[in-house]
Structures are given as C-alpha cells and as structure tokens.
Amino acid sequence: MLAKARWRQVTWRRGTKGPLRAKFAAVRVRVADGPEVRLQGRTGQHLPGDEVWLVGEHRSSGERKYYLANLPPNTPLKQLASLIKARWVCEQAHQQLKEELGLDHFEGRSWRGLHRHALMTLIAFLFLQQRRLQAAQRGQRGKKKTTRTAPATKPARHPSHAAGSSRAGHASAMSDLPRALPL
C-alpha cells in the first residue's frame, strides 16, 4: 500500500549528534480488526474495522519500519513521525525506572501496594530528572560565561556540629548531599 505513496524526508527533533530524520510515507487504511465472522466457510475472519494511518519509515541504514496510528485523518506527516518517535523516550524512561529505581522489584501481593510502589518510583524518577535538567542548565550557563566566578563557599554549620563535636564528620558528609527541590 505504501509503494505508491509519496515518501518525504522528515526531521522530527534534534538529537545529540544533530537532526534526527528519515523518509516517511502515510496512507489511511482499514485494518481487519472488526467483529469476527464466518466468511466463505472459514471461521475467524474479521470485517474491516476503523480507519487508521499506516505509516512507513525508511531509515538511512536501509532498515524499514511500519506503524499503525489511530490519529485523526487530518494529522500532518511530521506530527505522525514525531509522535511515533516519542515512543523511544517512553521506553528509555521505563528502562531507567526498572534498572535504576527498582520498579520491577515489587514483591507484594496487593493492587494497592503495587500502585504505591509505582508511585514512589515515579516520584523518585521525577526528582532525578529535575536534578539532571538543572545540572544541564547550569552547564549551559557556565559555557556562556567567559569570566571565572569565585569558588563556592561551604555552607554554615549548625553550632552543635563544631569542630570539637563528635558529630563533625557526620555534618560534613551531610552537607554534600543534595537538598530536596520543589517539583
């Protein structure tokens, strides 16, 4: 169906190595996922269902991918490509949630417990993402400045953490920890 379609070069976003682009084509089709019926003596046949987008992608590596999208008929090709490619970001986030924050380590037995575990994992992920974005913004601002700034001073210690106190080592270690940030 896409052989006769017009293939266009689409750039969906900028990556770390420059613009991300490939050739895309899209046509509206009816997928045979309608109600199951018996046709010509054969069971398990399906009538045409709703109309959807059939989107093809030709990558510069020669690889070809195909997608179905249930977006409205007036959706531009660039938006179709952008939304299809947004899936990668979601997959990366899910992988980080499992590997770095233990989303897949839940061993409870209740639906409520699973939801609480998932919520706490997502809150931790959002906190880390905010820290990463702030660090990236500080890095960009630092690159723009040409003058050197004075070195940062150490935070003031509480009087109970004076040098002679038995908790002095603990206080210096605690001052190095990141503070909670508003979300």
Between 50 and 63, whose confidence is greater?
A: 63
| Structure confidence by residue, pLDDT tens digits, 125-172 | 999 999 999 998 888 877 765 555 444 444 444 444 444 444 344 333
pLDDT score of 53 = 92
For 109, the enclosing helix (H) or strand (E) is none
Is a pLDDT exceeding 80 seen at residue 64? yes
With cut-offs at 50, 70 and 90, classify the pLDDT of residue 182: very low
Our CA dihedral for 34, 35, 40, 44, rounded to 10 degrees, sits at 100
Interatomic CA distance for residues 4 and 26, integer angstroms:
10
pLDDT at 13: 84
Q: Greater confidence, 142 or 80?
A: 80
Say yes or no to pLDDT of 1 above 60. Answer: yes
Separation between Cα atoms, residue 170 and residue 28, nearest integer Å: 65
Tell me if residue 53 falls in helix, strand or coil: strand
Assign 159 to helix, strand or coil.
helix
Q: Are strands 8-15 and 42-46 parallel, antiparallel or unpaired?
A: unpaired
175 pLDDT more than 50: no
> Considering only 2-6, 36-40, 60-64, which range has the smallest mean pLDDT?
36-40
Within 8 A by CB and 6+ apart from 51, the residues are 28, 29, 30, 73
Residue 16 DSSP code: T
CA quadruple 166, 169, 172, 177: dihedral positive or negative? negative
Nearest in space to 168 (alpha carbons), one of 177, 157, 176, 153: 157
Residue 62: what pLDDT?
Answer: 87
**The length of the chain, given as a count of residues:** 183
Each residue's pLDDT tens digit, 5-45: 889 999 888 878 888 889 999 999 988 776 777 778 888 77
pLDDT digits (tens, 9 = 90+) for 84-122: 888 888 888 889 899 889 988 888 899 999 999 999 999
Number of Cβ within 10 Å of residue 99's Cβ equals 10
